[in-house]
A = this chain, B = another copy of it.
Amino acid sequence: MLCGKVQAMRLLNAFGTFYLLLGLQLTAGSRGLEFPSHDGKDRLINLSRKNFNRFLKKYDILVVFFTITRDPQNAYEENQWYLTEQMLELAAQITEREGVGFGVVNLQNDRKLAEKLGIFEAGAIYAYKSGHKVAYDGQRSTDFLVEFILELDEHPVEEINTKIEIQAFKRNELSKVIGYFESSSSAAFDDFVDAALDFQPLISFYAVFQKLLAKQLGLTEVNQIDFYEPYMKKSITMSGNLPHDNSDIEDFVSDHKRATLRKLRPINLYDIWEDDINDIHVVAFADESDPEGFEFLQLLKEIAQLHTDDPNLSIVWIDPDDFALLHDYWERTFGVDLSEPQIGVVNVTDADSVWMARRKSRLPTLAELEKWISEVLSGKINTENDDDDYNLDDDVDDDDTEGESNDRNDVDIDDDFDEEDEEEKEEKASAVVEEKKEIRKLSRRSKLDL
């Protein structure tokens, strides 16, 4: 297709901006994929009680990072702040044209503002939009933070107007809510939108206005609202008199928010991980793009469908492809091979875990998986068989492998885990007497993702 001169040029142009050798600096090449870096302009606002409302009004979305006064002598803290600041500044730069502002609140200096906002965690990020606040509990890196903000910037309710859009709705594997309304100007729809703003963007809200489409979606009455848990074929219809009001919708969604099978995503990983049940997570690793991983995932979906009414079961599904950075950490900490599907129980207080034994070269059957799950729920399989629930002498890498645990090769937990153990004991002892409203410092590591 290309010949002679043109081809030579294309070949040279093919490699992005580049420099020829011999000191001659030339710029050329394929344009269209220039990743941004911070332009140097400071966009972070120092928010205080005095100016908070003004900036809240000024921006469509105000993203707020909550911090405490740093010790300038502490190099680690200073570096963490530098990374966090860079993340926030770049995100502010990228979203500036969308009407998004970024600010910082010092929880110690502005105690009253903290109390007004109800935020007491240093390191937390909240986005304020249309009188609603939404926590950003995703990975601390610019791309995911920006993805979150851009999704938050969209209208909170998607309208379904065609049959193909019904397909799009059905394919969405997040928790989702759908309502059938008279029109987009009905009061019932306004309440629905208002409720949606509390859950956007982690739970999707849809509306349908056409009777025929509504019927295909199983919505028979005007103002009916249904909730779909991920991977469930059947929806849950909201009970009570129609139309539903805003706060009832919020309660309804909150009640069903925690799914029986939840996918960990970079945008919600802390949100899910911190929502454990009795300090444990049932964790399943399955690479959906791998045939065996896909097959295992179908089993997990069956299990979830069988147990959807059990509030004590919520399986966290992790596709290892989504978390390449954690691959080695998880393999070492959990002692599992992530190139194969795995299911286990993880104690989130110490990352101690026990994994279902894998028979060579085959997946468990549904019955085997069912048995294992029931033994987890009954407590027969657990990570703490040899110690009390809150035994402070618990060692991080206690290798209590009772039940069906598998071989753990290569579990060389870092030494500093043991050091931290000492501190952990103190913390646990003091934790029970701490006030809930104490300012706490989250340390979701701002990852330097180069």
Contact = CB atoms under 8 A, between A and B. Distances in A.
A64 interface: no
Given A31-B350, A95-B328, A274-B15, A431 B9 contact: yes
B21 A68 contact: yes
Nearest to A339: B154
Q: Chain A contact residues: over half helix, strand or loop, or mixed?
A: mixed
A141 B290 CA distance: 24
Contact of A430 (B26, B144, B333, B434): B26
A168 B324 contact: no
Interface string A21-63: 1000111111111111100000000000000000000000000
A431 B8 contact: yes
Contacts of A37: 445, 447-448
A399 to B, nearest CB: 16
A233 interface: no
A377 interface: no
A145 to B, nearest CB: 8
The residue among A2, A31, A312 with the most chain B CB atoms within 10 A of its own CB is A31
Contact of A32 (B27, B96, B206, B351): B351
Interface in A249-295: 269-270, 273-274, 276-279, 281, 283, 289-295
Nearest to A269: B33
B9 A432 contact: yes
A254 to B, nearest CB: 15
A331 interface: yes
B431 A13 contact: yes
Interface stretch (A86-94, A181-189, A219-227, A236-244): A86-94
B35 A326 contact: yes
A19 B438 CA distance: 11
B434 A20 contact: yes
